[in-house]
Amino acid sequence: MKYKVLLPQPIEEEARRILEENDLEIIQAKDPKPETVAPLMKDAHAIVLRTGIQITRDLLGRAEQLLTISRTGGGVDNVDLEAATEKGVIVTSSLGANTSSVIEHALALILALSKQLFLMDREVRKGNFGIRYKNLPRDLQGRTLGVLGFGRIGSGLAQICHRSFQMKILANDDYLPEDVKSSYRSWAIFTSKEELFRQADIVTIHIPLTEETRGMVNASLLSLMKPDAFLVNTSRGGVIQEKDLIEALQKKALAGAGLDVFEHEPLEPDNPLLQMDNVILTPHSAALTKECVVRMAVAGAERVVALLNRRIPDHIANPEVLNQEKWKKYFKLQ
């Protein structure tokens, strides 16, 4: 039997080649709309999934042979994990493949905000060279960075800022094991969310979107920020109550924001964020560098190949599924 891999969206040639070289049949959807993908679910043994479609309980119900969903990105919030687990589908992600790219993007937003690069560019183009005398840019040297979520990306960014700019690091991560926290304590201070938002000159967000984190950054936390502080988010838009952030920015409760992700993507044309000069917006592109998209897609394809060759793949998002009898037999775990 030839295994079939469904691609709701095209993937990089390097990743596609891996699937073809392993004698897997590729089912390419003409577009990632649910009504297009739905009839293709029936025959798929695996899905290599980008961000263009939500794999819902309804779509999973159409699948008759599906074994795995392999995300090319680091998050799995566009998969109904509960439904996938009930159906015995292993969901994996390319966790770590985008780390360096997202760190660089977050740092670029921090620097652009601190140095007021976009404002300076606009004013120079208008002939206002005198903007240079207003002393608007700020140094990072010696300032305080608050990092909400201290995993690969959050801790990596913090290390760069601490070592390169001697920034004071405040961190909050409710899920980080105590022994891991201890390894950072020589240069990072773990504190409450409230103290982090109260003390930081720049708050950068690096938490996954879950039911627990949805809307976590709300008016209550934002009200604690210094009026000259900046907020950066390269994780998921849903972790911020966007209406609360918009209101805080309008009231100048904080100096500005750098946002790569949003509560609803793409942004609606009437979203107030689009009219704000103190906000830098990028289109959920932190991980979409030429190099990173290849790394993520290749990793996604390799995990499919591993699973279809009866090897347990890396970065399983629903590891409890391995307790099911079919997987114990499949991987010879008994």
Catalytic residue among 62, 152, 162, 284: 284
Cα 226 to chain centroid distance, Å, stands at: 26
Catalytic residue among 13, 265, 268, 325: 265
Is 20 catalytic? The answer is no
Residue burial 140-172, b: 16+ Cβ < 10 Å; e: rest: beebbbbbbbbbbbbbbbbebbbeebebbbbbb
Q: Are strands 279-281 and 168-172 parallel, antiparallel or unpaired?
A: unpaired
Q: Which two tokens stand for residue 140?
A: 């990072």
Instruction: Yes or no: say if 169 and 158 are a contact pair by the CB < 8 Å rule.
Output: yes
Is 284 catalytic? The answer is yes
Q: 222 Cβ partners below 8 Å, 6+ apart?
A: 197, 231, 244, 245, 248, 253, 254
Instruction: Yes or no: say if 193 and 217 are a contact pair by the CB < 8 Å rule.
Output: no
Cα 162 to chain centroid distance, Å, stands at: 22
Catalytic residue among 236, 295, 303, 315: 236
Is 315 catalytic? The answer is no
Which of the residues are catalytic? 236, 265, 284
